[in-house]
Amino acid sequence: MSVVSGMIPDIVLCLHSAMNKMKSICVFCGSGSGGDPIFGNAARILGDLLAHYGLNLVYGGSNIGLMGLVSAAVRDGGGKVTGVIPRRIADKVPVQEGITVEVVPGMHERKARMYELSDAFIALPGGIGTLEETFEAWTWNQLGYHVKPVALLNINGYFDSLLSFLDRMSTEGFLRDSQRNALIVDADPEELLTKMTDWNPPKGLKWDKLKPSSGSG
């Protein structure tokens, strides 16, 4: 499916069945819309797909940028939307109407609650906040704090440079190949969701092969 078509493909029964493994998807994305309309269009299509497949959306709670577009698409498609937003931000930005909003004390509580509510994570284009949230979710996966897929919707090659850096990280021995390959990437929203339903966690966690320290007493 092309992200510029603005159309949802026919229902694929096997994908519907596989989606039962995931009930709620956390989407990290920008509070801005970017300079190219393709980003906003992709956010709407992803939101349409989530609603189409009966998947709940968990996100940052704002009504602006890609956040507002994906949440409005899920809501308008009849899907359930939960926004989690820190008090400091809630007092300054508009909140999407017609959704459930949880206001938490700060950013740490926000991320913990979003992870608690979600079965999987998707990052759309965004800024440093989007990257920070995505990398924390991926790191927790690497350390075994959760076993949930983490994915990048690589619209218009937005994450290409980041992916090249991750490859360098793996080549230089700072990131296991298995963990690098565990990060799901696709430019097509529906293909991305399909990959997420087929995802299996990498075998072996980062610290599994290390013997526990006996300590000095």
Question: For the chain, which residues make up each domain, given as ranges?
Answer: 20-198
Cα dihedral 27→28→34→36 (10° resolution): -40
Instruction: Quote the strand ranges of 54-208, DSSP E.
Output: 56-59, 81-86, 100-104, 120-123, 150-153, 184-186
| Average confidence (pLDDT) over 33-37 | 95
Cross-strand bridge partners of residue 153 = 186
pLDDT tens by residue, 56-97: 999 999 999 999 999 999 999 999 999 999 999 998 888 888
Whether pLDDT at 207 is above 70: no
Considering only residues 50 and 142, tell me which one the structure prediction assigns the higher pLDDT. 50
**Picking from 44-48, 60-64, 110-114, 210-214, which range would have the lowest pLDDT averaged per residue?**
210-214
Residue 66: both structure tokens together: 């890609």
Whether pLDDT at 210 is above 50: no
Q: Is the dihedral of CA 135, 136, 139, 145 positive or negative?
A: negative
pLDDT tens by residue, 113-147: 999 999 999 999 999 999 999 999 999 988 888 88
Whether pLDDT at 24 is above 50: yes
For the chain, give the number of residues.
217
Identify the residue whose tokens are 């989690």.
84
Report the distance separating Cα 189 and Cα 116, nearest Å: 23
pTM of the model: 0.85
pLDDT at residue 17 in the model? 43
Whether pLDDT at 49 is above 80: yes
Q: Does 3.40.50.150 match the CATH number of domain 20-198?
A: no
Report the distance separating Cα 111 and Cα 180, nearest Å: 22
Report the distance separating Cα 115 and Cα 149, nearest Å: 12
pLDDT at residue 14 in the model? 42
Band of pLDDT at residue 8, cut at 50, 70 and 90: very low
How buried is residue 22: exposed, middle or buried, by Cβ count under 10 Å (0-12/13-18/19+)? Answer: buried
Contacts of residues 5-14 at CB distance under 8 Å and 24 or more positions apart, as own/partner, are: 6/41, 6/44, 6/45, 8/45, 8/48, 8/49, 8/52, 9/190, 11/52
